[in-house]
Structure formats: C-alpha cells, structure tokens
Amino acid sequence: MRILNKVEKGRYLDSVALMRASRRLAALQGVEAASLMIGTPSNKALLREANLLAPEGEAAGPNDLIIALRAFDAPAALTAALEILSEKPETQMQGLRHARSLAGALELETRANLAIISVPGAYAAHEARKALARGLNVLLFSNNVSLEDEVALKRFAKERNLFLMGPDCGTALIAGTPIAFANVVPRGGIGIVSASGTGLQEVSTLIARLGGGVSHGIGVGGRDLDERVGALGTLAAIEALEGDPATNKIVLISKPPAPALARQVLERVKRSHKPAVVCFLGSQEPGLARTLTETAELAAGKKLPREGFDVGKRRGSVRGLYCGGTLCAEAELIFGERKGHQFIDLGDDRFTRGRPHPMIEPELRNEHIAAAVQDRQVAVLLVDVVLGFGAHENPAAVLVKNNFSSKVVIASVTGTEGDPQGLSRQTAILREAGVVVAPSNARAAELAASLVS
C-alpha cells in the first residue's frame, strides 16, 4: 500500500466537484483512500490526519489542488484521478453569457441591480464594496467576513440606499426569484426578514403549504442582530417591506438579540402600519411566536393539520442530526431542559472544513447516522430533509441508504411541490423506508420528545 500525492499548481475546483471525484476514486478496486482538496492549511491538516499527505502535498499552496491517494497501485489510481478531472462536467450553462469580472458582467447586463458574492472570505468584503460602489444591491453568500467589515459594508450600503444581505446569507426570495438555497413558493403579500437561511426556508415553505404567498424573503445574515452590528440589515429590510405595495404583512425571524436591540427592533415593528409576526427563537418575550411553525401559521392565518402517528413510547435518548442549523436549534429548544439528548448541526464549520455543506452533499450525515444506529442508548433519530435550489437532487434517497430498522426515525421535509426534488416524491421515499414524516420541523421535534418523555 503506497501513499501518493500529485499537486496541480494553480488549479481550483469547488468542494462539491472534489468530493464527488474523491468518492469515485475511493470506490475503485485497490484504492484504500482518496481525497482531492485545495491546499489550504486546514485541508492539509485533514489529509495529514487521514494519513494521506505526502511531502509533495505538504508543499502545496492555497491555490493548488492536491490529489491524495493510498492504494496498492498508486500510479494507476493517479491516472484514473486525472481522467476523472479531465471529464467535461455536464452543465446547463452552455450558451449563456459569462464574464470574468464585475465590470465585464455589467457590460453584458446593463440593467442588473443585484450582485451575488461567493468568494473566499478574505476577498469577499472587497468584492462586495466594489459592487455597492457600482450601485448594486449585494447578497453576500461568503462567510468568514470580519465583524468590522460587515458593519462598514452595511453602513456603506445604507448611505447609498442599497441592501447588503449577509455576510453568510444563504437564502433570499426577491420578487419571486429564489436565490442561493431557496424554494419555489408562490407570490403573495407576506414579506420575511430572516437572520437564518433554513429559518427563512422553513417558514416560507410552510406559508406556501398553508395557501399563502411571499412577496420577498430578505436574508440579513446570522450576526445582524448582534449588538455590535446593531440590526442594520434588519431595520433596512423592515423599512423596505413597509414601503413595498406588494407586502401587506411582515415576518421577522431570528435568534434572540441583546435585550436593548430586541426592544429597538420590536419598537420599529410596532410603529409599522402593517401587521407583523416576530419569532426570536428561544425568547420568552410575550406576544412572540415560539416556533417557526407557529410563525408560519400566524402569518398565513391558518394552522397546519394535526396528524396522528402510530408510534409507541421508547426507552432511550434522541439523537438529532441536522443539515439546517436553525432547524437544529429549534429542535433543541423544544426539548428544553430534558437531559441526555443530543442535537448536532452538521452544517457547522467544524464539520464542513474542506467539505461541502450537508445540504449539498447529505452523504456526510450518513457516517453520523451509522454511529447513532450502533449506540444502544439512542432510541429515536431526528433528522431534517431540506429541498430547493442548491440542495442535493435527492436527499431522501441518500438518507434511506442507512439501515436504521432498529430505531425510530422521525423526519421533517422543508420544501414545496414546485421544488426540483418535489415534496411528495421525497416524502414518499422516506415513508416507504419506514421513516415517520412530520409536517414541520417543530412537529417532528415535539413527536420525538413525546416518545421518550
């Protein structure tokens, strides 16, 4: 068995493409392990821990691609790796216009008013400022942007009467157009301001299922209601929705802000001439929605039907394995002070270092499911399945690869019938495998809690 590294200088591929190529290589006969990674210090540390790093890989830089193999016939495995990398990816982009710079893109699309920034965090603030200076609103998808840069960018946007959504903004719905991780929902009169991506997805899709529609869904980034940022994005979004004739109700979703900032935001909401629903997840403030489900119900003016589930009580604990961070936090809040249960956000940075987000590649969750299945203390598995643009094309099928016949598995599916994966198709796959599918994330958590209480 030999370890072999080849470094491709100045070659960049996104983490999803590299993950899929790595999986194909690892499945080849005679290959014990394979990984393709960009040569950042953190990625090299991962390769070192996996006993896949050779001196050639150690010398790679952050702009280089490392092909790392451990195989009986390493040269043959390397030949296979190079062949996989040389394949032309299937794409729906052929024939579409493209540019290599912001200036070039604006020459092609002179009426553009929104730029989506998705570059490494070290460069993201600079690119966002350039776009704002050119009069573009910005959705800043990138993370690892400093707090100081976030404040400066949001103030810069405010001076120019523009929006800066983010940083680390994964979801938006602007005038019916889903952006990044978002779902197909009908247009309507409900405007949503959300500090979290999966929170916006859950509420918007539940509103759709309840017969309502969304005018805009504005993501502001997870730190916007930090006292140091001062809710600059949230307040700007509320102002915009209040002045939008297509919006007749405003919904606000966030984790609890600092008390003084919460008062400021709530006072601004109360001054609006439009009715509002506010959910500060985990807050005990009177008059606020307690869950994302309740938020959607209050916004739509209808309640989700209560379903009966023929599932008996279980001895043991609940293990929550989540792709969506806000969905994980909501489930944990529903369990409250109950001890012995564990909830894991697999989209957290510690799990995604050098790897794609589990909403893109849900296979990453399966190793955690396998461990939970082997754990005799775990009686119930609680999971989310998130659909929509940007998400995996068939996450339910990936989930049911697991043999969890010895456990009760409860899932919620965040999505709509119009999503590429199809809500009913995904639900059917899960139910056929014996998974209990609840109508929302909160209902799934409540059911799980009732089984082990």
What is the pLDDT, as a whole number, of residue 90?
A: 57
What is the pLDDT, as a whole number, of residue 94?
A: 60
Pick the closest to residue 442 from 241, 297, 252 (CA basis). Answer: 297
| Tokens coding 244 | 């939008």
pLDDT band at 80 (very low <50, low <70, confident <90, very high): very high
Global pTM? 0.86
Helix (H, G, I), strand (E, B) or coil at 14: coil
Residue 414's DSSP bridge partners are 386
| Tokens coding 16 | 């999803």
Per-position DSSP letters for 211-222, written without gaps between them = T--EEEEEE--T
Q: Does the domain formed by 102-300 have CATH 3.40.630.40? A: no
Packing angle of the helix pair 292-300, 441-452 (nearest 10 deg): 130
Amino acid at 349: D
More confident position, 312 or 425: 425
* CA distances (Å), origin 233, targets 71, 116, 165, 246, 265: 51, 16, 7, 20, 11
Q: Do domains 2-86 and 317-452 have the same CATH topology?
A: no
What is the pLDDT, as a whole number, of residue 97?
A: 79
CA 37 to chain CA centroid, nearest Å: 21
Rounded CA-CA distance 215/189 in Å is: 5
Give the ranges where 272-362 is alpha helix by DSSP (H): 292-300, 325-335, 349-352
Asked which of 8-12, 386-390, 400-404 is least confident by mean pLDDT, the reply is 8-12
What is the pLDDT, as a whole number, of residue 239?
A: 96
Give the ranges where 27-120 is alpha helix by DSSP (H): 41-49, 55-58, 74-86, 102-108
Q: Determine how many CB atoms are found less than 10 A away from the CB of residue 245.
A: 7
Backbone angles phi, psi at 199, to 5 degrees: -65, -45
pLDDT digits (tens, 9 = 90+) for 1-46: 899 999 999 887 777 678 788 888 988 999 998 999 888 887 888 8
Asked which of 68-72, 143-147, 444-448 is least confident by mean pLDDT, the reply is 143-147
Q: Is the pLDDT of residue 93 over 60?
A: no
pLDDT band at 89 (very low <50, low <70, confident <90, very high): low
Domains of the chain by residue range: 2-86, 102-300, 317-452
pLDDT digits (tens, 9 = 90+) for 172-222: 999 989 999 999 999 999 999 999 899 999 999 999 999 999 999 999 999
Strands (E), 201-275: 214-219, 249-254
Please return the burial class of 111, using the count of CB atoms within 10 Å of its CB with bins 0-12, 13-18 and 19+.
exposed
Average pLDDT, the chain: 92
- The topology under which CATH files domain 317-452 is Rossmann fold (3.40.50)
Task: Return the biggest CA–CA distance within the chain.
Answer: 71
Rounded CA-CA distance 426/414 in Å is: 10
* CA distances (Å), origin 390, targets 205, 213, 251, 347: 15, 21, 24, 14
Q: Is the pLDDT of residue 374 over 90?
A: yes
Rounded CA-CA distance 83/96 in Å is: 27
Amino acid at 11: R
| Tokens coding 192 | 């949503």
> Of all helices (H) and strands (E), which one includes residue 345?
strand 342-345
CATH value of 2-86 in 3.30.70, 1.10.3470, 3.30.750, 3.40.1630: 3.30.70
What is the pLDDT, as a whole number, of residue 96?
A: 73
Q: Find where tokens 């040569």 sit.
A: 39
| Tokens coding 413 | 């599916």
Upstream peptide bond of 167 is cis (omega within 30 degrees of 0):
yes
Rounded CA-CA distance 134/129 in Å is: 9
Q: Find where tokens 């068939």 sit.
A: 394
Give the ranges where 52-173 is alpha helix by DSSP (H): 55-58, 74-86, 102-108, 121-133, 147-159
Q: Find where tokens 């399966």 sit.
A: 366
Rounded CA-CA distance 189/370 in Å is: 44
